[in-house]
Amino acid sequence: MPEVVAAAAFAAVAAGGASGWFAAAQYWVTVCGVALALIDLAVQRLPDVLTVPACGGTLILLTAAALTGAPGNLGRAAAAAGVLTAAFLLIAFSGAMGLGDVKLAPACGALLGCHSWTGLFWGTAAGFVIGAVVETARMTAGYAHRTHVSFGPYMVTGALAVSIATA
C-alpha cells in the first residue's frame, strides 16, 4: 500500500510539469509527506526525525531554485513558512492540533508561499477542507472511532495539490 500511495503522489507531481529545483522541492515534500502521512494514520504522530528534514530539505531546495533563477520568491517562501507555523502553533495551544502538525507547517508553508500568498491560503484551506470531507465520510460510514484526527495527511495533500496546480 505505501508503494501505491507514493507512486500516485509522484505521478501527480510529475504531471504538474514543474522542473528544476522547485520540482525537487515538490518531490522532497512528497517523499517526506507520504512517510509522515502513513505514520500519522498509524500512530497519530509526526516524528521529528521526518518533520525536521522535511522542513530543512524544502528550504534548501527552494534556496537552490532561487539561486538558479527559478520563478518564485525565497523571502516570501520563508515568510510563508513562518506565518503558517505561527498560525498552527496558535491552533495547537488551543488543543485542536498536535505539535507534529506545527513542525510540518514550515515545509508546507514554504512550498506554498514560494509562488504566492494566495497559494499559501488555498493550500492550507485545501488541507482543512479535504480533512473535513474525509473525516465526515469516515464518521458517517462508522469508520471513525476516535475523536482525534490525523491532520498530517491532509496538510501534505492540500499543500501538494495547490503547489502542483499553481507551479
Q: Domain extents for the chain?
A: 2-166
Say if residue 115's pLDDT is above 80: yes
Whole-number pLDDT of residue 146? 64
Say if residue 8's pLDDT is above 90: yes
Contacts of 62 (CB under 8 A, 6+ apart): 21, 22, 25, 72, 74, 77, 110, 111, 114
What confidence tier does 145 reach under pLDDT thresholds 50, 70, 90?
low
Say if residue 139's pLDDT is above 90: no
Whole-number pLDDT of residue 104? 97
Q: Cβ atoms within 10 A of the Cβ of 90, count?
A: 12
Say if residue 129's pLDDT is above 90: yes
Whole-number pLDDT of residue 58? 97
> Torsion over CA of 21, 55, 151 and 11, rounded to 10 degrees?
20
What is this structure's pTM? 0.93
Alpha-carbon distance of 6 to 123, in angstroms, equals 20
Whole-number pLDDT of residue 138? 86
Segment 29-51 mean pLDDT: 94
Segment 63-87 mean pLDDT: 96
The set of cell numbers assigned to 66 is 532561487
Whole-number pLDDT of residue 3? 87
Alpha-carbon distance of 157 to 154, in angstroms, equals 5
What confidence tier does 22 reach under pLDDT thresholds 50, 70, 90?
very high
Say if residue 148's pLDDT is above 80: no
Q: Average model confidence (pLDDT) for the chain?
A: 93
Closest CA to 112 of 70, 160, 148, 68: 160
